[in-house]
Amino acid sequence: MSVIVTDTGFGPDTHAGTWFDLAADIDPDTLSGQLDGVTAVRIAFGSFADGRGFTLAARLRRAGFTGRLRAAGHVIADQYAMARRAGFDEVEIDAALAARQPAHQWLARADWQGHDYRARYKRTA
């Protein structure tokens, strides 16, 4: 069973539609026209050590994708703020990871905008 992580903690999957699933290593330039009309994209993370999914999410957002964007798989709590800054709306993890890294660990990183180095720089400038 999957657990969905958002800025408010753990919750159920509320998406009732279909997902356009992408591997983290896909070149977004090859997707031209394929995302037209797509409202939800899920990017698979095979390992927490592979950051290509973050880059892909950021590139999709810069290319104009405004739908729901989900990181799915091996993303850890320490990476939650980075996932949100890259453009993900939520993270999907399995129940085993949720048990090892409970909601409070994810919530500690939920203020991803306030803890961004750019926000701190603006406050001191």
pLDDT (tens digit per residue) in 79-89: 999 999 999 99
Average pLDDT, the chain: 89
pLDDT at site 42: 98
- Reported as a single tens digit per residue, the pLDDT across 31-72 is 888 989 999 999 999 888 888 999 999 999 999 999 999 999
pLDDT over threshold 90, residue 121: no
Q: Is residue 61 part of a domain?
A: yes
- Kindly report the CA angle at 114 between 59 and 118, in degrees rounded to 5? 60
Alpha helices per DSSP H over 1-125: 52-62, 80-86, 95-100, 103-107, 117-124
Number of folded domains that form the chain: 1
pLDDT at site 110: 81
pLDDT band at 117 (very low <50, low <70, confident <90, very high): low
Q: Is residue 87 part of a domain?
A: yes
pLDDT at site 115: 56
Q: Is residue 26 part of a domain?
A: no
Q: Is residue 31 part of a domain?
A: no
Q: Is residue 62 part of a domain?
A: yes
